[in-house]
Amino acid sequence: MVIRVAIVGQGLVALHFEVGLEKLKRGLIRDYGVPLRNLLPYRYEDIEIVASYDVDESKVGKSVYELAKRYYEGPGEIPGSLKDIIVRRGIHLNSLKGLSFKARGREEIEDYEQAVWSIIDEWRSLNVDVIVNIMTTEPVEPVNSLVELHERFKAGDLTASQVYAYMAALYSKKYRSAAFINAIPSPLANDPAYVELFRESRGVVFGDDGATGATPLTADLLEHLYERNRRVIDIAQFNIGGNTDFLSLTLPERNIMKKITKSSMISDILGYEAPNYIRPTGYLEPLGDKKFVAMIIEYYSFGEFKDELYIAWRINDSPALAGLLVDLVRLGRIALDREQYGTVYEVNAFYMKKPGPPGSKTISKFKAYELLLNWLGIRDPRY
């Protein structure tokens, strides 16, 4: 069965997903960075990207091949098949407000309701199964009430990521069950209104905020310290990068979204709140997509001796998330096959910084990996 994917946000993550997937299909690269690799019933060849949406005027109307030629810095040739994917104009709703991009959404050209349904009709014509949200981080508050969510959607009083998620639920209810993968910090799988909306609509929402680099490592280090009864004194972790998402995080209202998803793990894993500073801290354009991470964890060992753990790291930011998406689109299809509507904690716990549903605990990623394999009914290939 083909899994037809629509992408929201044609940035670097999208390019690495699109280019990398086509190379995987052709055997041109190995599947490093795809956690479940060949353990799932759906193969890489089963994934087909059928649409991409953005509001940046420099991208709308261009082919993914053209954009990859301009921005993709990975090894090898760009697959020619990407010439067939033309970036479509999406919904803006001021999602790029405050950033230095010329942006325009469909709702700024035509009526809001018409813009919404024109995109849903496109998904219908393309038989979309999975919508992947990798747009730029935006400030979002959960709605919490399903009645309020319906009202605010009709009034156009939601952010772009919230509207896309609502559209995915409408599409699921009216035409074809779909999965919405929320790889940015917007609280969607952590919003009870959205979880209920997807459950009623026979759709699936995964989220929130893909866990790719320092966050999953921090979670596993905290689990290590907890299991050895070492008392964490404080944690400092920061990232500096030079891509568009780091540029957007220079705005305080956007940065706070990352702080929420990145620091929620501490009390969940340790059982107490250790003083911490965990957030993206700066934009430095020359770093590009290879972000710099620094971390220090101070803790007490036996005899109340103080130990310190230091980590300095460089991470290719966008490829790390793109590899997770190869799994997530397949897992979205599996959840739909099983009719497990709403959200799936076992998936979110492993792949997301702030796993839904609301009130769920963040756990270490190696514990989450075991949960995920149990949910899938497969064994760890090492044993």
Q: Are residues 307 and 343 in the same domain?
A: no
Residue 381 lies in a domain: no
How many domains, in total, are found in the chain? 2
Q: Is the pLDDT of residue 97 over 80?
A: no
Q: Are residues 181 and 323 in the same domain?
A: yes
| Residue-by-residue DSSP string for 30-76 | --TT-TTTT-SSS-GGGEEEEEEEE-BTTTTT-BHHHHHHHH--SSS
Q: What is the pLDDT of residue 100?
A: 67
Q: Are residues 58 and 166 in the same domain?
A: yes
Q: What is the DSSP letter of 209?
A: S
Q: Are residues 39 and 168 in the same domain?
A: yes
Arithmetic mean of pLDDT over the chain: 93
Q: What is the pLDDT of residue 382?
A: 87
Q: Are residues 229 and 146 in the same domain?
A: no
Q: What is the CA radius of gyration of the chain?
A: 20
Q: Are residues 295 and 165 in the same domain?
A: no
Q: How confident is the model at residue 257 (pLDDT cuts 50, 70, 90)?
A: low
Q: Are residues 83 and 224 in the same domain?
A: no
Q: Is the pLDDT of residue 296 over 70?
A: yes
Q: Is the pLDDT of residue 56 over 90?
A: yes
- pLDDT, average across residues 269-280: 90
pLDDT (tens digit per residue) in 233-246: 999 998 898 887 78
Q: Compare 144 and 80 and report the one with higher pLDDT.
A: 80
Q: What is the pLDDT of residue 246?
A: 81
- 235 is in which domain, residue-wise? 214-315
Q: Are residues 203 and 84 in the same domain?
A: yes
What is the model's pTM? 0.93
Distance CA 21, CA 18 (A): 5
Q: Report the CATH number that the domain containing residue 226 is assigned in CATH.
A: 3.30.360.10
Q: Compare 246 and 212 and report the one with higher pLDDT.
A: 212
Q: Is the pLDDT of residue 259 over 60?
A: no
Residue 383 lies in a domain: no
- pLDDT, average across residues 295-319: 95
Q: Which of 281, 315, 349 is the last residue of a domain?
A: 315
Tell me the β-bridge partners of 56.
Answer: 103
Q: Report the CATH number that the domain containing residue 75 is assigned in CATH.
A: 3.40.50.720
Residue 153 lies in a domain: yes
Q: Compare 308 and 265 and report the one with higher pLDDT.
A: 308
Q: Compare 96 and 55 and report the one with higher pLDDT.
A: 55
Distance CA 78, CA 86 (A): 15
Q: Which of 299, 315, 331 is the last residue of a domain?
A: 315
Only one residue has tokens 């709703």, namely 93
Q: What is the pLDDT of residue 98?
A: 64
Q: Is the pLDDT of residue 256 over 60?
A: no
pLDDT (tens digit per residue) in 173-207: 999 999 999 999 999 999 999 999 999 999 999 99
Q: What is the pLDDT of residue 157?
A: 93
- pLDDT, average across residues 342-347: 98
Q: Are residues 90 and 174 in the same domain?
A: yes
Q: Are residues 251 and 302 in the same domain?
A: yes
Residue 380 lies in a domain: no
Q: Which of 315, 332, 353 is the last residue of a domain?
A: 315
Q: What is the pLDDT of residue 280?
A: 78
> Are the beta carbons of 42 and 1 closer than 8 angstroms?
yes
Q: Are residues 49 and 188 in the same domain?
A: yes
Residue 323 lies in a domain: yes
Q: How confident is the model at residue 315 (pLDDT cuts 50, 70, 90)?
A: very high
Q: Are residues 283 and 143 in the same domain?
A: no
pLDDT (tens digit per residue) in 31-55: 999 999 999 999 999 999 999 999 9
Coil vs helix vs strand at 17 = helix
> Are the beta carbons of 166 and 148 closer than 8 angstroms?
no
Torsion of CA 184, 9, 327, 200, to 10 degrees: 70
Nearest residue to 41 via CA among 338, 342, 370, 319: 338
Q: Is the pLDDT of residue 262 over 60?
A: no
Residue 382 lies in a domain: no
Residue 95 lies in a domain: yes
Residue 56 lies in a domain: yes
